[in-house]
Structure 1
Amino acid sequence: MSAPAAPTPALAKEIALLAVLATLWGASYTFIKIGVETIPPITFIAARTLIAGGLLMAIIGMRGLSLPRDPDIWKRFLIQACINSVIPFTLIAWAELTVDAGLATILNSTTPIFAFLLTVLITRHEAVTTRKLFGVVAGVIGISLIIGLEAFNGLGKGLVSQLAIVVATISYACAAIFGRGFKGLDPMMPAAGSLICGAVLLIPVSLVVDQPWTLAPSAHSILALIGLSVFSTALAFVIYFRLIHTLGSVSTTSQAYLRVPIGVGIGVLFLGESLTSTAWLGLICVIAGVAAMTFPSRKKAAVTA
């Protein structure tokens, strides 16, 4: 039997971009953890979307391009903003007031599992295979190992925060599927458009709830906000929308299993975090499940190589 053909240069480039995306998003949890120490979650995310969206708009202008003017496209940008930034960004930022960055990384890495379940239930463009069913089961077991035992101690704030991250993960899965509808647009357009829509939604809430002019954020939180906005949001979103079109929604969310060790490692290295033995078992199950969901079969790889 001949060996599978090596990836084409074009495919190798997309896989490299997938690894970059995993690193950028793996670091985001530590940025958020540091940022919300002195900046309230809503204001932190409002600033994140405003800075990242403004940066992308500036780059679009420098390239001699302009954002679409079609109202229907902007309606789609608004929906994408809600499910890919406003809801998940805010939930994760709020959750990390009490949840470690590493644990947030693990829980949020299950996006491919929810993306697959949603495609099966709604769009039905993913085939149901034994391997993918194993991935779903392993992922659910992993989540249960991480948050399930705490449920026996009552619905404490830690459990609610962890469940908030799971809800954010489901929202990301919806966004990955919805984002397929922007095919044909320059990847910067939906990235910038959705972020600007997110800022428009969040800034008024921030002004009313947090009164940001009364805050005194630390230098570390401000630097974390800048790093998160520029690298883990603006740059990451451009790569994300590109990969949605080149690799597909489920394959793009496969960066989730790559960002798990990256995100956990960054949390351990820079924040001194540690995982419980149960969380480590959950981590193994989640990585196994996500890998089973996203690794292409040999037959498919041979056809598409």
Structure 2
Amino acid sequence: MSTATSPLTTATPPRRTPIDWRVRFGVLSLIWGFSFLLIKVGTQSYAPFQVTFGRLFFGTAVLAVAIAVRRERLPRGLRTWGHLTVAAFILNAVPFSLFSYAELTIPSTLAGICNATSPLWGMLLSLVALSEDRPTRRRVGGLGLGFIGVLTVLGAWQGFSGLDVTGTAMALLASLSYAVGWIYVRRALAGNSSSHLSLTGSQLFMATLQLAVVTPLFTDLPTSFPVVPLLAVVALGSLGTGLALLIQYGLVAEVGPTTGQMVTYFVPVIATAAGVAVLNEPLHWNTPVGAVVVLVGAALTQHRSGSSRTARKSEPKPAPQRLSPTPVTADQP
């Protein structure tokens, strides 16, 4: 669910699709926006780790089919697989699980808005970890504005009354995990000769293995399989993770990361509308107002000076990495 890309390069160019990119952009926004609703429905009958495992399993299955159809080669080398294992933990296993646990106690609308803070965390961390990512007044202002928006969403002036602190903290930590993972991938896997598809599929596979180990240790095997929550988990994995990644990759490759990243600003809007309309979740004035402030701040953090943009023109075009309804990072979408 989150929306994010990485600076991985791909050895094979993406194939053109007859479907206009604007249509795919809209579909991707809807898929990722509804992912938070699907998590909420799934956790009504299944444990959070089970929802996360199902999401990863079905998402991996979709990418495995795509890899087979395109006859892509899997990454080679223990070093590469080691980095993919770490990336899978930070970008998939941890944030997916945190969002599932968070939505046990917070509305899906709040989870979707917390997910939108990923660019803010990304910029804050990149200023420390990436020497080439220098701050500008506009970007620093956007960072401050974004966190003011977060406080508005949470109702800080009321002492955060009515919110579950633990669930909200988990959702924000999930967003932070995306940002940490992006920096790790940028440092560890940039320039890898394997294709984006094979790297992403392999990463999801490693995350699935991690959840396959963890889930039986902390959950009991379900005694029943309610249809609606089960379908929600299947859709979350096959559509919200597998298909969404394929669409995102094609979008970024076709129209570039600047346009591709705009999907991030539609996701919390759709997540909020879905939660209110379908799940009847409450909506107070500070939630949409704060969300708008967060998105404006996030947009400002993506701004780069003219010299920075010029310098980056010589870099290889980034390929989408993630991995979820989302994260977004400083480079992306």
**Cα distance in 2 for residues equivalent to 1:291 and 1:139:** 9
Asked whether the equivalents of residues 113 and 291 of structure 2 are also in contact (C-alpha less than 8 Å), the reply is yes
SS in structure 2 of the partner of residue 283 of structure 1: helix
1:254-288 C-alpha deviation (Å, 9 max, x unpaired): 53322111211122222122322222332121121
Distance 1:174 1:244 in 2: 21
Query: Which amino acid letter does the alignment assign opposite residue 125 of structure 2?
Result: L
149, 153, 161: which one pairs with 2:167?
161
Structural mapping, 1:79-228, within 5 Å: 79-147=86-154, 149=156, 152=159, 158-180=164-186, 181-183=189-191, 184-212=193-221, 214-228=222-236
> What's the CA shift for 1:40?
0.5
More helix by percentage: 1
The size of the alignment, in residue pairs, is 290
Q: Could you tell which deviates more after superposition, 163-172 or 45-54?
A: 45-54
Matches within 5 A, 1:236-251: 236-240=244-248, 247=256
Summarize deviations over 1:195-222 as a string: whole Å, max 9, x none. Answer: 111111111221122122x332321111
Determine the C-alpha separation between the residues in 2 that align with 1:128 and 1:282: 24
Q: Cα–Cα, structure 1 residues 83 and 209, in superposed 2: closer, same or farther, change >3 Å?
A: same
Secondary structure of 1:273's aligned partner: coil
Structure 1 residues 43-82: aligned runs within 5 Å: 43-82=50-89
Shift of 1:225: 0.8
Q: Match of 2:156, SS?
A: helix
Instruction: Check whether the contact 2:60–2:205 (CA below 8 A) recurs between aligned residues.
Output: yes
Question: Does structure 2 conserve the Cα–Cα contact (< 8 Å) formed by 1:92 and 1:104?
Answer: yes
The 2-side partners of 1:243 and 1:175 are apart by 21
- Contact 2:61 2:238 survives alignment (8 Å): no
Aligned counterparts of 1:215 and 1:167: Cα–Cα separation in 2: 31
Q: 1: CA distance between counterparts of 2:58 and 2:212?
A: 12
How far is the alpha carbon of 1:118 from its aligned partner? 1.3
Q: CA RMSD in A?
A: 3.1
Correspondences of 1:257-272 after superposition (within 5 Å) = 257-272=265-280
How far the C-alpha of 1:176 sits from its partner, in A, is 2.6
Mapped partners of 1:292, 1:60: distance in 2:
36
Which residue, out of 281, 284, 288, partners 1:273? 281
Mark the runs of 5 or more structure 2 residues left unpaired by the alignment.
1-15, 314-333
Name segments (4+ residues, structure 1) moved above 6 Å. Answer: 13-16, 242-246, 296-304
Cα–Cα, structure 1 residues 276 and 218, in superposed 2: closer, same or farther, change >3 Å? same
Identity across aligned pairs (percent)?
24
TM-score (structure 2 length as normaliser) = 0.77
State the alpha-carbon separation in 2 of the partners of residues 252 and 121 from structure 1. 26
Bigger shift: 109-118 or 64-73? 64-73
Return the alpha-carbon distance in structure 2 between the equivalents of residues 74 and 17 of structure 1: 31
TM-score using structure 1 length:
0.83
Q: Offset at 1:142?
A: 1.4
Once the two structures are TM-superposed, the CA of residue 167 in structure 1 deviates from its matched residue by: 0.6
